Chains A and B, each alone.
Chain A
């Protein structure tokens, strides 16, 4: 059962990170609301942290560095989510919608 030894391999975690990143890119392009795009951007950041953690576990000489990077990514993601939500609330007050197709002032 080679399947049960997957958690000891670097490539497993790299594939997980790649799949999360592609989910994020797909959602970023396909979603029509701003909140859906924010959720997709969280996936992109999570993919980056997963890859940092994988390289940290298997390759890095000092295994504290990758964990610190992931902690900083978490802090940036929290700040980004807070700012994005407040921008969304401000946009909603002006436009009464957060649908990206309707957030236009000009024709075209």
Chain B
């Protein structure tokens, strides 16, 4: 197929260094989908959060394969370390003891087969779009290492960098105000 953008066409042997890298990549992909399946389908909320952590650990491996070890570390720190723990705290604080389950059977039609078909349709459309498009490869100009990321963050994208810090500050203040409101 014309549209496939592959860096090296030759397939490596199984018992070579490149073959081992391929096996490790397949393992990380399996980790991602196992975690995602658990997170979406688990009956108990705590298991869903554990699946989220597993999926994001695998996704950190995928980022490593996309030549960005820095983003892989950030993924582990922010998602696995912070967001999953935050959601686990939310489950502990905002769920009654006997109702920590997320029963999938809902009364509405939207939550049953319609949800599944919507997801399947999205997947089919995005996959066809990704595989059929003639992607155009541009010649490389930068290195993309962590030094280049830091330079671009403080020169080209400095406005967004300032704005994101304001967004985070507002999020902290808003979370404090919201969580305090119902308490009397």
Q: Which residues of A line the B interface, CB within 8 A?
A: 1-23, 25-27, 29-33, 35-36, 38-40, 42-43, 46, 50, 53-54, 56-65, 67-68, 70-72, 74-83, 85-94, 96-99, 101
Closest Cβ of chain A to B120, distance in Å, is: 7
Q: How far is the CA of A82 from the CA of B174 in the complex (A)?
A: 9
User: Count of B residues near A, CB < 8 Å?
Assistant: 108
Q: Mark B160-184, 1 if CB is under 8 A from A, else 0.
A: 1000100110111011101101110
For residue B37, which residues in chain A have a CB less than 8 angstroms away from its CB?
23
Q: How far is the CA of A93 from the CA of B179 in the complex (A)?
A: 9
> B48-82: which residues lie under 8 A (CB-CB) from chain A?
48-49, 52, 55-56, 59, 62-63, 65-68, 70-71, 74-75, 78-79, 82
B94 and A92: CB pair below 8 A?
yes
B112 and A30: CB pair below 8 A?
yes
B152 and A68: CB pair below 8 A?
yes
Closest Cβ of chain A to B95, distance in Å, is: 6
Q: Which of A20, A53, A85 contacts B89 (CB under 8 A)?
A: A85
For residue B91, which residues in chain A have a CB less than 8 angstroms away from its CB?
35
B137 and A82: CB pair below 8 A?
no
* With known contacts A26-B115, A90-B178, A81–B83 Cβ distance under 8 A: yes
Q: How far is the CA of A97 from the CA of B103 in the complex (A)?
A: 14
For residue A15, which residues in chain B have a CB less than 8 angstroms away from its CB?
127, 130-131
What are 20 A-B interface contacts by the 8 Å CB criterion?
A5-B6, A6-B25, A11-B5, A11-B131, A25-B119, A30-B106, A39-B39, A46-B79, A53-B62, A56-B144, A61-B139, A61-B142, A62-B152, A75-B164, A76-B164, A76-B167, A77-B79, A86-B176, A89-B178, A94-B182
Q: How far is the CA of A23 from the CA of B83 in the complex (A)?
A: 18
B99 and A85: CB pair below 8 A?
no
For residue A22, which residues in chain B have a CB less than 8 angstroms away from its CB?
119-120, 122-123, 126
Q: How far is the CA of A74 from the CA of B70 in the complex (A)?
A: 13
> B9-33: which residues lie under 8 A (CB-CB) from chain A?
9-14, 18-19, 21-23, 25-26, 29, 32-33
Q: Which of B36, B120, B138, B143 contacts A43 (CB under 8 A)?
A: B36
Q: Which A-chain residue is minimally distant from B36 (CB atoms)?
A: A23
Q: How far is the CA of A3 from the CA of B153 in the complex (A)?
A: 36
> B121-151: which residues lie under 8 A (CB-CB) from chain A?
122-123, 126-127, 130-131, 135-144, 148-149, 151
B71 and A70: CB pair below 8 A?
yes
